[in-house]
Amino acid sequence: MSDETPTMRRMQPPTTPLTEPFWEATRDGRYLVQWCLECDEPIFYPREFCPGCLGTQLEWRPASGAGTVYAVTVEHRPQDKANADFAPYAVALIDLEEGVRILSNVIGCEPDDVSVGMTVRVTWEPLEDGRQLPQFEPANP
């Protein structure tokens, strides 16, 4: 029997050739958003072509990491057992300043205190391989 307390382990998000630039930037604490060069619109989630104009000239651009909560729910009993140790936690749709809506967690406050219209900023949770998982925290704690 060991006296060590087991640490909670978060699922390590997979990478693909398409998402590699995003995940590599997280190693340096940089948040990137994909952009279409043909119609100059931001894209989320990462894709091979623009969903607006079907253009294929895409690039990754630095993003501010600032946004506003559009909608939120608090998970008290997650369906995925791997997340049970993290409950309760807030899952939010966040409108980034760059014009995309993303899904993420809001941490750094009580989950029930997260509300629609709350301003948030990106923060980072280290992953086992050196990447960092973007999370969000209140911009005005």
Question: pLDDT tens digit string along 3-23?
Answer: 444 445 677 899 999 999 999
Q: How confident is the model at residue 2 (pLDDT cuts 50, 70, 90)?
A: very low
Domain assignment present for 98: yes
pTM of the model: 0.87
Domain assignment present for 123: yes
pLDDT digits 0-9 by tens, 28-87: 999 999 999 999 999 999 999 999 999 999 999 999 999 999 999 998 987 777 777 788
Cα of 31 vs its chain's centroid, Å: 9
Domain assignment present for 82: yes
Domain assignment present for 5: no
Domain assignment present for 74: yes
Query: Residue 4 corresponds to which amino acid?
Result: E
Domain assignment present for 62: yes
Bond preceding residue 89 cis, omega within 30 of 0: no
Domain assignment present for 53: yes
3-state DSSP assignment of residue 89? strand
3-state DSSP assignment of residue 1? coil
Domain assignment present for 7: no
Rounded CA-CA distance 134/125 in Å is: 7
Which residue segment(s) compose the domain that 64 sits in?
Answer: 20-138
Structural domains of the chain, count? 1
